[in-house]
Structure 1
Amino acid sequence: MFMKQQVACELCGRHCLLTFHHLIPKKMHRRSFFRSHYSKAELQNGVMLCVTCHKTIHRFYDEMTLAKRFNTLYALQADEKIQSYLVWVKKQKIQ
Structure 2
Amino acid sequence: MSSKSSSQFSTFKDCLARRLISTTDLDGPEGSDDPLDEFTSYLASEVWPALPDTLYTASYESLSSDTVLQEMASDPFYISLDAIPIPTSFFDTLTSYTHFEDAHDCIRFLRKVLSDYLTEATAPPPVWKQTRGEKCEICERGWVRLTYHHLIPRSVHGKVLKRKWHTESMLNSVAWLCRPCHSAVHHVASNEDLARYFYTVDLLLERDDIQAWKKYASKQK
Write out aligned runs for 1:1-95 (5 A). 7-15=134-142, 16-31=144-159, 34-36=160-162, 37=164, 38-93=166-221
Greater relative contact order: 1 or 2 (C-alpha under 8 angstroms, separation 6 or more)?
Answer: 1
Q: What's the C-alpha RMSD, in Å, of the aligned pairs?
A: 1.7
SS in 2 for 1:20: strand
CA deviation after TM superposition for structure 1 residue 17, in Å: 0.8
CA deviation after TM superposition for structure 1 residue 60, in Å: 1.3
Q: 1:7-51 CA deviation, whole Å, 9 max, x = no partner?
A: 2001111011111111110001022xx114233220111110000
Cα distance in 1, alignment partners of residues 186 and 201 from structure 2: 14
Q: 1:44-86 CA deviation, whole Å, 9 max, x = no partner?
A: 1111000010001111111011111111111011111000111
The amino acid of 1:66's aligned partner reads L
Number of equivalences: 87
Cα distance in 1, alignment partners of residues 137 and 218 from structure 2: 13
Corresponding position of 1:3: none
Structure with the largest fraction of helix:
2
Structure 2 unmatched runs, 5+:
1-132
The amino acid of 2:212's aligned partner reads S
Bigger radius of gyration among the two: 2
Corresponding position of 2:117: none
Structure 1 unmatched runs, 5+:
1-5
Query: 1:7, 1:17 within 8 Å by CA — same for their partners in 2?
Result: no
- Runs of 4+ in structure 1 deviating by more than 6 angstroms, as ranges, are none
Cα distance in 2, alignment partners of residues 77 and 89 from structure 1: 13
